Amino acid sequence: MTEVNTQLYINGVYRPAEDNLQYGIYNPARPSELVGYAAAATKKDVDKAVQAAHAAFPAWSELGYARRAELLRKIGYALTAEIDDVNYRSQLFCREHGKILRETHLEISRLGERFFQCADYADRLAADELIEGPPFDTLVSRQPRGVAALIVPWNWPLAILGCKLPQALITGNTVVVKPANYSALTPTLTLRKIAELLPPGVLNILTGSSSEIGDPLVGHPLVRKVNFTGSVEVGRHVMKVAAENITPVTLELGGNDPGIILEDALLDEAAFKRLYLGAFMSTGQICMALKRLYVHRSRYDEVVAGLIAECNRQIIGDGLLPETTMGPMNNKKQLNVVQGMIAQAYQAGAEVVELGQVVDQELYAQGYFQRPTLVLNPAHHLDVVQEEQFGPVLPIIPFDTEEEVISWANDSVFGLCSSVWSQDTKRAVTLSRQIEAGYTYLNAHGPSAQDGRGPFGGFKQSGIGRNMGYEGTIAFQGYHCISAPNDSIGTLMPFWNK
Ligand code: NAP
Ligand code: MG
């Protein structure tokens, strides 16, 4: 494959960054292999993108839900219409990101599905509420906010765009999207396909260094909504910058998801596959991955043995090869974090087992690889238990009572997702309701168990607000009320969009 060069997309024009700046993106499986260059936007580009989105806002917001829904459906089709194009983007995505082809295909199709889902909200979104008097008749409607800045992380850049982009568009906002530095090429090519089906200025794309463009974007006075997905550290900073203009933020931040296996859980082969995927899909680099596994002591040995067997079936290598089931981590920085946690646990005396099959040792030594790793019964204070690993390592800890395991599960600054594994649904639901988290999966964990029609997000430092579902969609709007005394001439009834 030849090197790919991507540009910015501002006001309907695909063009280089202001000073022709760009930066290289390298393959995490072979860090010396240049995959391509992305444009490195400047502050001036940020202003142009926001101004373009602001200028496009009146016409886009007035277009109406039905027309916007038509365009969203057209985009949904276009995203996966040409098989050669999908294959090309899947391979490029694999090379710039590291994740396996099956997952890059999945992300591309996920994004398309979300456009259809949001288009289906059109009628519900168009409806106002009428609160009838006396003393007043009040029409409650929602309005788009204006320019929305959408910021996505590197780990699932397309699927995460699917949690905010179609939602921002259907509700009548115009957008400026900033993909992450580490995987900018495929998102840019994909976003360009979308932008070309929209009026100029409705969707603008900025790639480049966050230290150059992050604050100017978030703090721009014409940005009326910031929707950020990423780390707690950057999320906290984004919130501070947004506070200057009292810009509302939705923050989807990190997680340290607990999974609880009760003594009556059904642990067949399929359950172990779901457990494995819950923790290790995308080489563990998923916000809602299983990150701490608490197992009733009576099932502990069985769970450890089952997960060891499942991990050992995995083939670790270049994600482009069809037999590979786990690719490298995306970047050296995150690899160092994970390996640091593993080393700390080992030094503290925990049993650490590194598993899976490495076919090409030379490649493994070059790339940002880490085999799937289990840490058995570590002390609670260790980083591998307390912190978000965001990599292929899972601590497994035995428990004796429900009370004990709930207190451990909730003993975290995070509250994103969680899971309970049991054959007794009543007990599992009762326990789920005691977990401080935005989502609990039963007998599964992670994106493959998630219903995209539900609101997604976390409690505590896992974030503010929700993405996806109807609730995540109307988060891109504000409320507007019109009241009239209901004894006045005429009522508001004729103006009510039911
Ligand atoms: P990150 O370092 O926080 O970056 C996220 C995004 O913010 C990137 O596009 C980054 O750009 C940008 N950014 C950095 N500094 C900025 C600033 N000052 N102003 C505006 N934008 C700025 O996170 P990451 O390392 O990409 O992703 C991993 C983290 O994301 C993990 O903690 C994970 O749990 C979390 N995450 C959460 C969810 C969720 O839905 N809750 C989903 C996925 C991931 P650059 O890449 O250019 O620095
Ligand atoms: Mg980062």
pLDDT reported for residue 133:
85
Nearest Cα to Cα of residue 44 among 290, 160, 212: 212
- Pick the residue whose CA is nearest to atom 31 on ligand 1: 231
- Write phi, then psi, for 290 (nearest 5 degrees): -65, 120
Instruction: Label the pairing between strands 13-15 and 8-10.
Output: antiparallel
- In this structure, which residue's CA is closest to atom 43 in ligand 1? 287
For residue 492, what pLDDT is reported?
Answer: 87
State the catalytic residue, choosing from 94, 163, 287, 311. Answer: 287
pLDDT score, position 56:
99
Q: Which two tokens stand for residue 457?
A: 């997000």
Q: Is 255 in the pocket of ligand 1 (CB under 6 A)?
A: yes
- Ligand 1 contact via 155 beta carbon (within 6 Å): yes
Q: What DSSP state is assigned to residue 321?
A: S
Provide the residue type at 218 as one letter. Answer: V
Probe target for ligand 1 pocket from 176, 229, 333, with the most ligand atoms within 8 Å of CB: 229
User: For position 320, what pLDDT does the model report?
Assistant: 97
Helix (H) or strand (E) holding 439: strand 439-442
Residue 486: what pLDDT?
83
In a 10 Å sphere around its CB, with 0-12 CB exposed, 13-18 middle and 19+ buried, how is residue 221 labelled? exposed
Residue written as tokens 């690993």?
389
Question: What pLDDT does 134 receive?
Answer: 84
Rounded distance from Cα 369 to ligand 2 centre (Å): 18
Please classify residue 260 by burial: count the beta carbons closer than 10 Å to its beta carbon, then call 0-12 exposed, 13-18 middle and 19+ buried: buried
Token pair in block for residue 197: 């089906």
**Radius of gyration for the chain, computed over Cα atoms and rounded to the nearest angstrom:** 24
153 CB less than 6 Å from ligand 1?
yes
Say if residues 236 and 367 touch (Cβ distance below 8 Å). Answer: no
Q: Is the CB of 93 under 6 A from ligand 1?
A: no
174 in Cβ contact with 146 (< 8 Å): yes
Question: Among the options 252, 310, 388, 436, which is catalytic?
Answer: 252
Residue 316 structure tokens: 């670790």
| Residues β-bridged to residue 353 | 374
Question: Which numbered ligand comes closest to the C-alpha of 230?
Answer: 1
Closest CA to 398 of 377, 382, 383, 379: 377
Question: Which residues face 393 on adjacent strands?
Answer: 373
| 323 catalytic residue (yes or no) | no
For the whole model, what pTM was predicted? 0.97
| Residue 490: per-residue pLDDT | 66
Closest CA to 177 of 233, 109, 111: 111
Separation of CA 416 and ligand 2 centre (Å):
19
Q: CA 63, CA 54: separation in Å to the nearest integer?
A: 15
Q: How far is CA 166 from the centre of its chain?
A: 14
* Site to substitute for ligand 1 among 176, 210, 228, most atoms within 8 A of C-beta: 210
Distance from residue 153's CA to the centre of ligand 2 (Å): 7
Question: How many other β-carbons are positioned within 10 Å of the β-carbon of residue 417?
Answer: 32
Q: What is the predicted pLDDT for the residue at 458?
A: 98
Q: 208 CB less than 6 Å from ligand 1?
A: no
212 lines ligand 1 (CB under 6 A): no
- How far does residue 105's CA lie from ligand 2's centre (Å)? 24
Q: Give residue 481 CA to ligand 2 midpoint distance, Å.
A: 41
pLDDT value, residue 488: 65
Q: What CA–CA distance (Å, rounded) separates 173 from 369?
A: 40
Distance of CA 3 to the CA centre of its chain: 27
pLDDT of residue 408: 98
* 468/438 Cα distance (integer angstroms): 13
Instruction: Compute the Cα dihedral for 328, 333, 339, 341 and give only its sign.
Output: negative
Of 468, 488, 484, 485, give the one whose Cα is nearest residue 476: 468
- In 10 A of CB 20, how many CB atoms? 8
N-term to C-term CA, the chain: 54
| Tokens 């299983």, located at residue | 290
The Å distance, Cα 303 to ligand 1 centre, comes to 33
* 436 a catalytic residue: no
DSSP class of residue 181 equals G
Indicate which residue's Cα is closest to atom 39 of ligand 1: 252
Classify the C-alpha dihedral 365-369-373-378 as positive or negative.
Answer: positive
A 10 A CB-CB count for 246 gives 6
* Number of other residues whose CB lies within 10 A of the CB of residue 115: 26
Q: Is 218 close to ligand 1, i.e. is its CB under 6 Å away? A: yes
Q: How far is CA 354 from CA 205, 312, 436, in A?
A: 40, 9, 31
> Which-ligand-closest: CA of 291?
1
Check: CB of residue 138 under 8 Å from CB of residue 480: no
In which residue are the tokens 């985009």 written?
A: 75
Cis peptide before 398 (omega within 30 of 0): no
* Ligand 1 center–CA 446 separation, angstroms: 19
Walk along the chain (498 residues) in steps of 10 and give the mean pLDDT of each run: 92 97 98 98 98 99 98 97 97 98 96 98 96 91 98 98 98 98 97 98 98 98 98 98 98 98 98 98 98 98 98 98 98 98 97 97 98 98 98 98 98 98 98 98 96 96 98 98 82 87
Q: If DSSP states are collapsed to H, E and C, what string results for 234-293?
A: HHHHHHHHHHCCCCCEEEECCCCEEEEECCCCCCCHHHHHHHHHHHHHHHHCCCCCEEEE
Spatial CA neighbour of 60 closest among 173, 205, 195: 173
Q: Do 23 and 37 touch, CB atoms closer than 8 A? A: yes
Residue with token string 């978000």: 388
